[in-house]
Amino acid sequence: MSHAQARASLSSFAEVAVVMLAARGDDEAFAELVRRRQAWLRTLFRRLCRDPALADDLAQQAFLTAWRRLPQLKAPGAFGGWLRSVAVNQWLQEVRVRGNRAEESLAPECIEAPVSQDPGLAIDLDRMLALLRAPERTCVVLCHAEGMSHAEIAAATGWPLGTVKSHVTRGSARLRELLGEESA
Amino acid sequence: MIDPQEARLKALFASAPEAAPDARFTAEVAGRVRTLRRRRRFAIGVVWVGAIVLLAALLAPYAPLSGGVEVGLPQVSVPADLLTVASRNGLDLVAALRGLPVWWYYVLGTGLVPLVLLAWLVVARLVVARRRAG
Q: In this predicted structure, what is the pLDDT of residue A116?
A: 43
Q: Of all residues in chain A, what percent carry a pLDDT higher than 70?
A: 80
CA distances from A143 to A47, A60, A165, B13 (A): 12, 23, 10, 10
The CB-side HSE value for A135 (13 A sphere, CA atoms) comes to: 15
pLDDT digits (tens, 9 = 90+) for A91-121: 998 888 876 554 554 444 444 444 444 545 5
pTM confidence score: 0.66
Task: Kindly identify which residue of chain A lies nearest to residue B21, measuring between CA atoms.
Answer: A39
pLDDT at A160: 93
CB contact under 8 Å between A125 and B36, yes or no, is: no
The ipTM of this complex is 0.73
Residue scoring higher pLDDT (B2 or A161) = A161
Closest CB from A68, A115, A175 relative to B17: A115
Distance from CA of A37 to the nearest CA of B (A): 9
- Round the average pLDDT of chain A to a whole number and report it: 82
The Cα A76–Cα A16 span in angstroms is 5
Contact B12, A116 (CB under 8 A): no
Check the CA dihedral A67-A73-A75-A81 and report its sign: negative
Give the containing element (helix H, strand E) for A155.
helix A150-157
Tell me which H or E stretch contains B68. Answer: strand B68-70
A contact test, residue of B3, B9, B34, B44 with most A CBs within 10 A: B9
pLDDT (0 to 100) of residue B122? 81
Chain A closest-CA separation from residue B35 CA (Å): 11
Assess contact for A45 and A91: CB atoms under 8 A.
Answer: yes
Question: Which range, of A3-7, A23-27, A79-83, B9-13, averages the lowest pLDDT?
Answer: A3-7
Q: Which of B14, B27, B33, B31 is nearest to A35 (CA)?
A: B27
